[in-house]
Structure 1
Amino acid sequence: MGAAPPAGMGMSEWRNWSGSVVAHPDVIARPRDEAELATIVREARAVRVTGAGHSFMPLCETSGTLVSLDDMAGELIVAPDRQSVDAPAGWSLKRLTQALWAEGLSLPNQGDVNPQSLGGALATGTHGTGRDLGSLATLAQSFRLVTADGSIVDCDTTTNPELFQAQRLSLGLLGIATRARIAVIPALHLEERIERRPLAEVLERLPELAAATRHMEFFLFPYADTVSLKTLHPTEPASLSQGDDDDRVFQACCDFAAKVPRSVPMIQRTLARIMGASHRVGPAWQIFPSERTVRFEEMEYELPVANAVAALREALALLRARKMPLAFPFEFRMVAADDIWLSPFHAGPCASISVHQYAPMPWAAHFAELEAVFRAHGGRPHWAKRHTLTSADVQSLYPKAAAFGAVRKRIDPEGKFMNDHLRQLFDFSL
C-alpha cells in the first residue's frame, strides 16, 4: 500500500497510497541497520524517508535519495515500569500494536487505519478521536535520529531538549528517526458501536456526546441529513467479534459517481438510508483501525472546538449550493490540545473535519473552496493532507514556527531533508 519498490540505481518511481503523488528519486534505499542508514544519509545530496505513503501531500517527494526503513533491524524494548516502550520508528502501527499486545500493552489511542510507520505518524501529527486524547505525537518521550551529516543523535527533554521539542512533530525535516520512546497503557479492550442519528441532533448534543465517551466521531454524507455515529468504550476482555468491512458496494457507488457526477446526491442519500447499526468488541489494536480499500484524496482541518459546528454547517451549505460531487463522507473527530511547536492542536482543543474525494474524481477546486471556509473559522490543516499553506501562513498560524526554523537550520544547514514542497512552507528558515 504505497510501499517503496526495491532499491536500485537510476530513475525509480514511487507513488503514494492514493496514486496522486509521484516521485522519481535517483535511488530508493533500504538500509538494514543504523550504520548503513548513516552512510546513505551522509553521502546523499538530498534525502526524504517514506513509510506507507499515506500522506496526500508531497512530503516524500525527492529527486535524490528516498529511504525506506522496512528492512531495518530492531526490537521492541519495554521499560521496567511498563509505562513506555522504545520502538523502531520504521515499524508500521499494525506491527507495533500487535507487538505491544503480546506484551500486555496498548497505545492510548489510534487513528482508523494502521499501515503508517510509527515515525511517519509522529512526524505528521496523526491522531484518533477523543476529547481528552492528543495526537500520537503527544506520546513521544525521546527520539534517536540520523542527522544530515550521518551523526546518530539522541534527544529528549534533558538531552538536546530543543531538538526534541522540534522533533515531536517535524515533517522529517530534522533527520531520520530510527527509534522512538512512546507512552503506552495496559492492554485495552474496546466495544465499538455505530448507529444512525439525525445530523441536527448530533450537532446539538455534541458537547454531551463528546463528554460521554472516551472516543466519539461521526461520518456524514454531505447530501444526507443523518450521520453514522461511532463510539468506542473500554470494556472487559473478549475475543474479537467482527463487523462488516466489505467495501464492494461503496466501491461500485464511487465508480458510478465518477461516470455520472450528478448522481452523487442521490447515491449518498440512498447509502445513508441503508447503513445500519453495527457492534464489535475486541482488542483495541484490532478495533481502532478499519480496512480502507477504496482509494481517496483527503483534506483535513483542525478547528477550535467553539467554531467547529459553525464551520461544518457553512461547509455543507457551500457544498450543496455549488453542487460539488464529493462522493465520500465527511469525518468529524475530537482531539485534545497539546504544546507541540508545529502541532495544529497547539494551545487549544480541536474538532477535526476531514473532507474526502474518490481518487479518480476531481478534488482540487472543491477542496480549495472548502479550505477557505475552514481557514476563516480559525482552522489549521493536517500537514499530511491536502492544503495550500504558504510560508507566510505557517508563520502566522504557528507561534513557535521561528523556534522550529532555528532548530531546523542548525541541525540541517544545507537543507538536505528539504524538498520543493517543504521549501515553500519553511523558506523563512533557509
Structure 2
Amino acid sequence: MGSLGRRALLRQLVHLSLAASLAPWQLAQARKPIGWKNWSGSQSCLPQRRVAPDTIVALQQLVADARGTLRPVGSGHSFSALVPTDDTLISLARLPQFVNCHADGSATISAGSRLGDLGAPLAEQGQALINMPDIDEQSLAGALATATHGTGATIGCLSSFIQRLTLVKADGELLQCSATEQPDIFNAARVHLGALGLVTDFRLQNTQPYHLVRTTEWRPIEDILATIDGLADRHRNVEFYYIPFSGMGFTDVQDITDAHTSSTDKLDQNDGAETLKQIRDWLSATPRIRELVLSSYMKSLDKEVSVAPSWQNYATERNVRFNEMEYHLPRATGLNAVAEIRAVLERHFPEVFFPIEVRFVKGDDIWLSPFHQQDSISIAVHRFFSEDYRPYFNAVEPILIKHGGRPHWGKLNNLDRHQLRQRYPHWQDFCDVRAALDPTGKFLNPYLRGLFG
C-alpha cells in the first residue's frame, strides 16, 4: 500500500473514531461536563453542555432554546480564544455533509465539512477549490469565519470565494444572504468569527480541476528576500520559510501544469521540525556553530518537485504541534518586517527553532477580512506547543503592528477593540449587524464580548 493509500485508510479510521466519539456531545448535558482543548492545547474550557445536532431543525431548536453563551467549534485549529465558554459548545459534524456542484462552476457545501475532505468529491463533479491553505484539517465553517487563506498574490482568502450562505440566527430562524440579498449581513457574515450565528452551508465559486507542479528550493535568506517579489508576480502560489539561526530558507512555488502526477524525494516536514528541535537543544548556546551546521546541511538538500491534483499538493501534514501568531501587512512594505523579526529572534530567543513563514494574499472588500482593501504579505511565527510563546510573540508583535499589520483572526494576538477598530473601516457596521442579529449576545464568549461589547 502506497503512502496515499495509507493516508486514506488513516483518514477513514479517524472519521469512524470521530463519529463514534460524537455521542458524548449529545449526552454531556446529562453527565459530568467534558473539557475541550484546541489542537495546540493553548485554549481550553469546561462547558456545561456539548451538543451536536443531526438535523437542521434540531440545530435551529438548540439555538433558539440555548441559555447563556453558545459557541461553535470545528477542528480546534484556531489559536485565539474564539471557542472557550463555560456554557454550551456546539459542533456541526453530525449534520448531513454534502458537496453539490452547479453548472456555473460553484458548489453548495455543508459548513461542517473538513477542507481535506472536499478535494475528491469536487473533482468527481468536475470542480476544485480555487486555493487552499497549507493545513486542511479545519472545518469549512471555521476556515471561512476567520478569513483563512493560502498563498498567491492574485488570489484572495477563502472567504472571498463565498457567493451565498445560510445563517441560523440567535432566535433559531434561517436566513440566506448574498451580495444582492441582505448585502450588509453578507458583508458581515463572510468573516464573522462565529459572532453572528451559525452558518449551515456556503455556496463557493470554484474552478475546473487542475494539477499543480510544486517546486521547493533551499536558498540563502538574502537571495530569497531579494527575489521573492518577482517570484510572487510570476507564479500562481509563492511562499517562503526562514529557518532561524541558519541564514537559509526555502521557497515553495506552484503553477498549474498539464504534467502527470510525479514526485522527487521529499523532506518530511515533521521530521524536519524534530531535527531543528534537536539542533536547538544541542547548540543553542553556540549560535555560530548552530548556523554553520544548519546552513551546511541545508545547502546540501536537493530541489524538490512534485506534480499532483491541486487538493493533494497544497496541504502538508503537521503532526508537530505549535502555537502561532500571524499578521497581514501591506505588500508594499511588509517584507521590511522580516529582517527586523529575524534580528530580534536571533538576538534574544536562541530557544526558537520553528521557521518564519511568509505568504502573499490579494485584497478584498469583506468588512472584517484582514485583507480588506489591502494586498498583503502574511508573516507567521511559531513556538513549540509545550513552550511559553509569550515572550517571543510579545517581542515580535510590535514590529508587525508598526508595519501596518492586521492579525489573523484565528491566531494569537494582543490587540484590543480600540486598536482593531482603527484598522477596519467597517468595524462599526459589523457591530451594528451583529447587534441586530444577536441582541442579547448569545454568541459572545468573553473574548468576543471584549471585541464587540
CA distance in 2: counterparts of 1:266 and 1:60, whole angstroms: 43
Q: Deviations over 1:33-69 (max 9, x none)?
A: 1111111111112111111100001111111111111
Question: Closer, same or farther in 2 for the Cα pair 1:386/1:263, shift >3 Å?
Answer: farther
Unaligned runs of at least 5 residues, structure 1: none
Aligned residue pair count: 426
- Greater CA deviation, 130-139 or 20-29? 20-29
What is residue 53 of structure 1 aligned with on the other side?
Answer: 76
What is residue 315 of structure 1 aligned with on the other side?
Answer: 341
What is residue 326 of structure 2 aligned with on the other side?
Answer: 300
The correspondence for 1:26, drawn from 7, 26, 48, is 48
Counterparts of 1:63-212 in structure 2 under 5 Å?
A: 63-81=86-104, 83-212=105-234
What is residue 250 of structure 1 aligned with on the other side?
Answer: 273
What is residue 408 of structure 1 aligned with on the other side?
Answer: 434
Using the TM superposition, give the Cα deviation of residue 162 of structure 1 relative to its aligned residue in structure 2, in angstroms: 0.9
Counterparts of 1:388-427 in structure 2 under 5 Å?
A: 388-427=414-453
Q: Which amino acid in structure 2 is aligned with residue 144 of structure 1?
A: T
Question: Closer, same or farther in 2 for the Cα pair 1:177/1:270, shift >3 Å?
Answer: farther
The residue matched to 1:170 in structure 2 has which SS?
Answer: coil
Q: Deviations over 1:229-276 (max 9, x none)?
A: 110110115235373436235325426746986477755664454342
The residue matched to 1:352 in structure 2 has which SS?
Answer: strand
Question: Closer, same or farther in 2 for the Cα pair 1:319/1:244, shift >3 Å?
Answer: closer
Residue pair 2:48, 2:87 contacting (<8 A) in 1 also: yes
The correspondence for 2:361, drawn from 305, 318, 335, is 335
Q: Which amino acid in structure 2 is aligned with residue 213 of structure 1?
A: H
Residue pair 1:264, 1:325 contacting (<8 A) in 2 also: no
Residue pair 2:247, 2:291 contacting (<8 A) in 1 also: no
CA distance in 2: counterparts of 1:163 and 1:199, whole angstroms: 44
- Greater CA deviation, 283-292 or 222-231? 222-231
Question: Closer, same or farther in 2 for the Cα pair 1:239/1:372, shift >3 Å?
Answer: same
Identity of aligned residues (%): 35
CA distance in 2: counterparts of 1:104 and 1:261, whole angstroms: 51
Residue pair 1:264, 1:326 contacting (<8 A) in 2 also: no
Using the TM superposition, give the Cα deviation of residue 338 of structure 1 relative to its aligned residue in structure 2, in angstroms: 0.6
What is residue 274 of structure 1 aligned with on the other side?
Answer: 297
Q: Which amino acid in structure 1 is aligned with residue 229 of structure 2?
A: P
CA RMSD of superposed structures (Å): 2.0
Using the TM superposition, give the Cα deviation of residue 206 of structure 1 relative to its aligned residue in structure 2, in angstroms: 2.4
Question: Closer, same or farther in 2 for the Cα pair 1:387/1:259, shift >3 Å?
Answer: farther
CA distance in 2: counterparts of 1:260 and 1:38, whole angstroms: 56
Residue pair 2:238, 2:253 contacting (<8 A) in 1 also: yes
Q: Which amino acid in structure 2 is aligned with residue 250 of structure 1?
A: A
What is residue 227 of structure 1 aligned with on the other side?
Answer: 249
Question: Closer, same or farther in 2 for the Cα pair 1:266/1:90, shift >3 Å?
Answer: farther
Counterparts of 1:29-48 in structure 2 under 5 Å?
A: 29-45=51-67, 46-48=69-71
Q: Deviations over 1:47-100 (max 9, x none)?
A: 11111100001111111111111111132111122x110000100001122211
Q: Deviations over 1:390-410 (max 9, x none)?
A: 010121111100000000000
CA distance in 1: counterparts of 2:98 and 2:221, whole angstroms: 46
Question: Closer, same or farther in 2 for the Cα pair 1:378/1:11, shift >3 Å?
Answer: same
Question: Closer, same or farther in 2 for the Cα pair 1:59/1:261, shift >3 Å?
Answer: farther
Unaligned runs of at least 5 residues, structure 2: 1-13
Please give the TM-score of this superposition, normalised by the length of structure 2.
0.90
Q: Which amino acid in structure 1 is aligned with residue 385 of structure 2?
A: A
Using the TM superposition, give the Cα deviation of residue 149 of structure 1 relative to its aligned residue in structure 2, in angstroms: 0.9
Question: Closer, same or farther in 2 for the Cα pair 1:268/1:293, shift >3 Å?
Answer: farther
CA distance in 1: counterparts of 2:46 and 2:194, whole angstroms: 19
Asked if 1:12 is matched to 2:38, the reply is no
CA distance in 1: counterparts of 2:392 and 2:403, whole angstroms: 18
Residue pair 1:27, 1:66 contacting (<8 A) in 2 also: yes
Question: Closer, same or farther in 2 for the Cα pair 1:267/1:89, shift >3 Å?
Answer: farther
The residue matched to 1:200 in structure 2 has which SS?
Answer: helix
What is residue 346 of structure 1 aligned with on the other side?
Answer: 372
Using the TM superposition, give the Cα deviation of residue 329 of structure 1 relative to its aligned residue in structure 2, in angstroms: 0.2
The residue matched to 2:80 in structure 1 has which SS?
Answer: coil
Residue pair 1:245, 1:291 contacting (<8 A) in 2 also: no
Residue pair 1:87, 1:179 contacting (<8 A) in 2 also: yes
CA distance in 1: counterparts of 2:358 and 2:230, whole angstroms: 15
The residue matched to 2:199 in structure 1 has which SS?
Answer: strand
Q: Which amino acid in structure 1 is aligned with residue 249 of structure 2?
A: V
Using the TM superposition, give the Cα deviation of residue 207 of structure 1 relative to its aligned residue in structure 2, in angstroms: 2.0
CA distance in 2: counterparts of 1:266 and 1:223, whole angstroms: 9
CA distance in 2: counterparts of 1:23 and 1:301, whole angstroms: 26
Q: Which amino acid in structure 2 is aligned with residue 36 of structure 1?
A: A
CA distance in 2: counterparts of 1:376 and 1:246, whole angstroms: 31
Using the TM superposition, give the Cα deviation of residue 145 of structure 1 relative to its aligned residue in structure 2, in angstroms: 1.1
Question: Closer, same or farther in 2 for the Cα pair 1:159/1:256, shift >3 Å?
Answer: same
Question: Closer, same or farther in 2 for the Cα pair 1:72/1:125, shift >3 Å?
Answer: same
